[in-house]
Amino acid sequence: MAHCLTVRPLLWTPTYRRVVRTAFATVPHYRELWALHGRTDPTLVPGRTGAHAGATPAEVAVERLPDLVPLKGGPAEANPYRGLGTVPLGHPVPLAAARDHPGAGIIRDDLLGVLAVRADCGRWHLCHRDVYARATPLGLAFTLLRQRSPMLVDIAPGTPGAVGACPIHGNPVVEL
Give the separation between CA 99 and CA 131, rounded to whole angstroms: 19
pLDDT tens digits, residue range 50-64?
677 788 999 999 999
- Of 157, 158, 166, 176, nearest to 104 (Cα)? 176
Range scoring the smallest mean pLDDT among 30-44, 106-120, 156-170: 30-44
Q: How many angstroms separate the CA atoms of 174 and 125, rounded?
A: 7
Containing domain of residue 101, as a range? 3-175
C-alpha closest to that of 27 among 52, 56, 57: 56
151: three-class secondary structure by DSSP: coil
Instruction: Using pLDDT thresholds of 50, 70 and 90, give the confidence band for residue 167.
Output: very high
The angle, 0 to 180 degrees and rounded to 10, between the axes of the packed helices 12-26 and 28-36 is 90
- What percentage of residues in the chain have a pLDDT greater than 90? 48
Q: Which residues make Cβ contacts (< 8 Å) with residue 11, sequence separation at least 6?
A: none
Domain count, the chain: 1
Mean pLDDT of the chain, nearest integer: 84
pLDDT digit string (tens) for 107-125? 989 999 989 989 999 999 9
